[in-house]
């Protein structure tokens, strides 16, 4: 039997794969009867051999091919050469023929990530087996998913807390599941409130870093100093805080440069390897407001401060105080 799992919601996709594993039989007997192949390099012969191998002391075996659909994504340019297209068509036919002839004793699962509906391999496999797609959840589906996750973990959550949690974490369900588990443990049986989100969720602290970066870039010295002191009182280490500010300045610069090349928000998120919708959204907004000159000034001053701390010329908190005071008093050349 053939199953195809595709989509950028890796959490739900992996849960579906685990459900398939459980449906086959005893995990102990399945372990020696499971083969995982790299779809980027596997040959049709290797896949056929894996599928036709007889199960060892079990009724069934599982063959998982990771990343095979990506190998046959349509070319970005229309300049592809005819011989290459013919070769790809022949290779696709070989893989599809294998999928058609999978013996009853083998479960074949093809796994793909962010692939297009025009994918050359998927179009052929659609007639052979079942294709399950796992796109990123959007509201209100994401809200319902979080509520179910909280309930399953043994907790409850208020509407404002739910809204804040979704705003901070976004549709990365791996991160969301981790944050929900932390919150349920932190609240110990009482309802999760908005204050708990700010106290526990890692992205909530990053929002304060965004506020600090905004205040510095806009020369709002009072707000910059107040935000800095709040972060320090909350236990944020100066070196960590400096690294977070530098990271954000770098991300804003990169987002601005990629937007100039007409890349979409999803493309930028993939290239930067960012899982959080919140981080990408904030960087996108900030890239519109500040000039490259102002961003580079901030980035280089952060580097100077980092050197001052690491060489022992200044204590961490003192160095950050000086940095924020100096940048917060200048006239920012806002774009």
Reply yes or no on whether the pLDDT at 82 is more than 50. Answer: no
Residues 48 and 169 both lie in one domain? no
Domain that holds residue 304: 203-329
Least confident of 39-53, 91-105, 303-317: 303-317
* pLDDT, tens only, 273-315: 776 677 788 888 888 888 888 888 888 888 899 899 889 899 9
Residues 71 and 43 both lie in one domain? yes
Residues 128 and 213 both lie in one domain? no
What pLDDT is recorded for position 84? Answer: 64
Buried b / exposed e across 13-32, counting CB within 10 Å, b at 16+? beebbeebbeebbeeebbee
* pLDDT, tens only, 258-278: 998 988 887 888 888 776 677
**Last residue of some domain: 161, 176, 200?**
200
> Which of 290, 250, 255 is CA-nearest to residue 269?
255
Q: Say what the pTM is.
A: 0.68
Residues 310 and 255 both lie in one domain? yes
Residues 288 and 236 both lie in one domain? yes
Report d(CA 212, CA 328) in Å as an integer. Answer: 10
Domain contains 334: no
* pLDDT, tens only, 215-262: 887 778 888 888 888 888 877 788 888 888 888 888 888 999 999 898
Domain at 245, CATH number: 1.20.272.10
Reply yes or no on whether the pLDDT at 78 is more than 50. Answer: no
* pLDDT, tens only, 113-143: 988 888 889 999 999 988 999 998 888 999 9
Buried b / exposed e across 203-231, counting CB within 10 Å, b at 16+? bbbbbbbbbbbbbbbbbbbebbbebbeeb
């Amino acid at each position: 039997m053939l199953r195809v799992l595709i989509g950028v919601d890796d959490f739900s996709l992996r849960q579906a794969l685990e459900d398939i594993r459980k449906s086959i039989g005893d995990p102990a007997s399945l372990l020696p009867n499971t083969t995982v192949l790299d779809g980027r390099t596997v040959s049709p012969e290797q896949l056929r051999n894996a599928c036709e191998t007889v199960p060892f002391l079990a009724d069934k075996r599982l063959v998982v091919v990771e990343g095979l659909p990506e190998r046959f994504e349509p070319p970005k340019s229309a300049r592809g050469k005819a011989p290459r297209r013919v070769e790809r068509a022949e290779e696709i036919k070989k893989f599809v023929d294998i999928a058609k002839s999978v013996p009853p004793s083998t479960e074949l699962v093809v796994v793909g990530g962010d692939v297009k509906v025009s994918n050359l391999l998927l179009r052929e496999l659609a007639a052979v087996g079942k294709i399950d797609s796992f796109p990123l959840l959007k509201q209100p589906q994401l809200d319902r998913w979080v509520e179910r996750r909280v309930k399953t973990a043994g907790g409850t959550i208020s509407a404002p807390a739910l809204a804040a949690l979704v705003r901070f974490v976004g549709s990365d369900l791996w991160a969301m599941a981790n944050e929900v588990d932390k919150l349920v443990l932190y609240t110990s049986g009482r309802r999760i409130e908005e204050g708990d989100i700010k106290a526990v969720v890692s992205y909530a602290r990053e929002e304060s870093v965004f506020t600090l970066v905004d205040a510095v870039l806009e020369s709002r010295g009072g707000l910059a100093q107040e935000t800095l002191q709040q972060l320090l009182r909350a236990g944020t280490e100066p070196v960590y805080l400096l690294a977070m500010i530098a990271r954000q300045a770098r991300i804003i610069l990169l987002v601005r440069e990629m937007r100039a090349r007409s890349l979409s928000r999803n493309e930028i998120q993939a290239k930067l390897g960012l899982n959080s919708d919140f981080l990408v959204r904030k960087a996108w907004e900030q890239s519109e407001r500040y000039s490259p000159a102002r961003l580079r000034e901030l980035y280089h001053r952060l580097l100077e401060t980092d050197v001052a701390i690491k060489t022992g010329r200044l204590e961490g908190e003192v160095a950050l105080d000086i940095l924020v005071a100096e940048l917060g008093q200048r006239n920012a050349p806002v774009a």
